[in-house]
Amino acid sequence: MSGVETIGLIGFLPALLVGTFAVVVLMVDLFSPAGQRANAGLITLIGIGLGLWAAVRLWGTDATLFGGMIVVDAPSLWFQVVFLVVTFITVLLSMQYAAEEGLEQGEYYALLLFALLGAMLMAAGGDLLVIFLGLEIMSLAQYVLAGMRHNVLKSSESALKYFLLGAFATGFLLYGISLLYGATGTTNLTAITTAVREGGLADHPLLTIGMGLMVVGFGFKIAAVPFHMWTPDVYEGAPTPVTAFMSTGVKAAGFAALARVFLTALSDLQGSWTPIFWGMAVLTMVVGNVAAITQPNIKRMLAYSSIAHAGYLLIAMAAAGPAGLTGLLFYLLAYAFMNLGAFAVVVALEQREDRHLLLEDYGGLGFRYPLLGLAMALFMFSLSGLPPTAGFMAKFYVFSAAVEQGYIVLVVIGVLNSLISLYYYLRPIVLMYMQEPKAEVPALRLNPFLVTGLVLALLGTLHLGLFPSRLLGLAQAAAQGLFVP
């Protein structure tokens, strides 16, 4: 804890930069003349880039700030980097989209940055209140972002649904936090651990109920069954880049907080929460994968696919321990690349007024746009977990962590689900390559920014699949850090 003095605010620099740039974007937008509003996105990119630089420079730090409110350690930095990368690519995808769909540029990027800030707070929170604060900052920004296309009915529906259900779920979380506070007399994660251990509170009913309520609250954010009902509708209605952010960034943030709370503060209750995650993992995988099969709309299909991936991630949670957390860290990074990549292709093909979002619209595009088709095929193979892609390595690591803990049955259910998922991930490929194009072929929304985002996602997916060694080593080191007593 002596690090507080030495690193000071530097430890919080990534989040500070993001927050500052959010305000800067708003200000620039406010004071720039009406004709020149296109630069908000660029400023956002610079802000995120600086944040990324700061976060990478901080790697190796292990300290707490503000009296234990903020933790700067390897898992927290890893998650912050994931969020920053996710937002960076999201902004790249948004450039032309936001302009064409008539989104308010300044607000859009500022809200994206605020959502990022919230997510970073969730990952860095050393106190339940900070985590809650982060979650609220992120969620509020997301509610607005989901409804940004105010002239589209579905978008408004999406925002309203997300807001009502989200507020409801947040209530559960807050209630859980208050019960935890009631049982232990503190909201600081480390202090809770100590209180539970020294007071022998592991069986305390308040603690158990509080834990259950927090599972509900976080379960909503990560879109785990049975708290997933909102996902398809919200994902479908929200602007596509926002959906991309939700499925990768928000989910990762939910898992970041979930992992930190359950693996540190509630680690002594492991006996009671592993069965919960075990069951949720099975339900989430099965429901997500089976429902995805019948979706005609690609955004809905990816929504259900993202539910299913929450299931695989819950396997990592059930496996607990350093290996499980390593799997979680690595999986979320890999998932960010491949899922953002898939959404990049969706954005590229999507037309105004939600046209060209049906799977059948992808017919024959593989040979017409060879590189785009190839990229989509790669992302689909990666999502279904075929080597040599990031998705395979990530799944492999998560499954191996679970096998190590002896959860063979869970892993067998997991791989059978991968098989189901293969069926619907193959569908876009079947359509793109094995059918003739429809007469009317859309003009692509391909601009340098989108292409950059696509290439970044592609490189990430391939790199993590072919040469995962270095990042896997970093993830392992990061995960170990959380378990040092």
The answer to whether residue 392 forms part of the interface with other proteins (CB under 8 A) is: yes
Q: What is the DSSP letter of 251?
A: H
Sign, CA dihedral 251-263-417-279, equals negative
> Shortest Cβ distance from residue 411 to other proteins (Å)?
5
Q: How far is the CB of 313 from other proteins (least distance, A)?
A: 18
* Selected range binding other proteins among 31-39, 128-136, 206-214, 396-404, rule: CB under 8 A: 396-404
Any contact of residue 391 with other proteins (CB under 8 A)?
A: no
Give the closest residue to 327 by CA, choosing from 404, 226, 412, 400: 400
Stretch that binds other proteins, among 71-79, 161-169, 202-210, 425-433 (CB under 8 A): 425-433
CB atoms within 10 A of CB 16: 16
Helix, strand, or coil (residue 355): strand
Q: Using the minimum distance from each CB to other proteins, give the nearer residue, 164 or 430.
A: 430
Which CA distances in Å does 413 have to 273, 278, 407, 409? 19, 11, 10, 6
Of 426, 446, 455, 462, the residue at the interface with other proteins (CB under 8 A) is 426
Distance CA 129, CA 384 (A): 37
Whether 55 and 32 have beta carbons less than 8 Å apart is answered as no
Q: How far is the CB of 254 from other proteins (least distance, A)?
A: 27
Binders of other proteins in range 357-376 (CB under 8 A):
367, 370
Q: Give the number of C-alpha atoms closer than 13 A to the C-alpha of residue 408, restricted to the C-beta side.
A: 1
Which helix or strand (DSSP H or E) is residue 125 part of?
Answer: none
Closer residue to other proteins (CB): 168 or 367: 367
CB of 238 closer than 8 Å to CB of 246:
yes
Nearest one of 85, 92, 22 to 56, comparing CA atoms:
85
In Å, how far are 170, 335, 424, 465 from 469, measured between CA atoms?
38, 17, 30, 9
Could you give the count of Cα atoms lying within 13 Å of 238 in the half-sphere of its Cβ?
Answer: 31
Least Cβ distance, residue 296 to other proteins (angstroms): 17
Minimum distance between the CB of residue 400 and other proteins, rounded to whole angstroms? 5
Which residue in the set 415, 438, 459, 483 belongs to the binding site for other proteins (CB under 8 A)? 415
Identify which of residues 41 and 428 has a Cβ nearer to other proteins in the complex. 428
* Residue with tokens 């492991």, as numbered in its chain: 270
454-483 residues in contact with other proteins (CB under 8 A) are 468-469, 472-473, 476
- Count the Cβ atoms, other than its own, within 10 Å of residue 33: 6
- CB atoms under 10 Å from CB of 483, counted, come to 13
Task: Kindly tell me which residue out of 21, 83, 109, 399 binds other proteins, with binding defined by CB under 8 A.
Answer: 399
The verdict on 181 binding other proteins (CB under 8 A) reads: no
Smallest gap from residue 276 Cβ to other proteins (A) = 23
From the CB of 404, what's the least distance to other proteins, in Å?
5
Q: How far is the CB of 458 from other proteins (least distance, A)?
A: 14
- By the rule CB under 8 A, 408 interacts with other proteins: yes
Q: Cβ closer to other proteins: 6 or 294?
A: 294
| Contact window for other proteins (CB under 8 A) among 77-85, 172-180, 204-212, 386-394 | 386-394
Segment interacting with other proteins, rule: CB under 8 A, options 199-207, 236-244, 301-309, 405-413: 405-413
Phi, psi of 358 (to 5 degrees): -85, 150
Contact (CB, 8 A) for 186 and 192: yes
Helices (H), 8-127: 13-31, 40-58, 74-100, 105-124
Task: Report the candidate in 154, 147, 144 with the shortest Cα–Cα distance to residue 112.
Answer: 144
Q: Which stretch binds other proteins (CB under 8 A): 30-38, 89-97, 161-169, 384-392?
A: 384-392
Among 419, 438, 459, 483, binds other proteins (CB under 8 A): 419
- Residue 283 CB, nearest approach to other proteins (Å): 20
Of these, 66, 168, 423, 483, which contacts other proteins (CB under 8 A)? Answer: 423
Closest to other proteins by CB, 176 vs 414, is 414
CB nearer other proteins, residue 56 or residue 415 = 415
Among 412, 448, 459, 483, binds other proteins (CB under 8 A): 412
396 binds other proteins (CB under 8 A): yes
In the DSSP assignment, the letter for residue 261 is I
> Is 190:264 a contact under the CB 8 Å cutoff?
yes
Which parts of this chain interact with other proteins (CB under 8 A)? 367, 370, 381, 386-388, 392, 396-397, 399-400, 403-404, 408, 411-412, 415-416, 418-419, 422-423, 426, 430, 433-434, 468-469, 472-473, 476
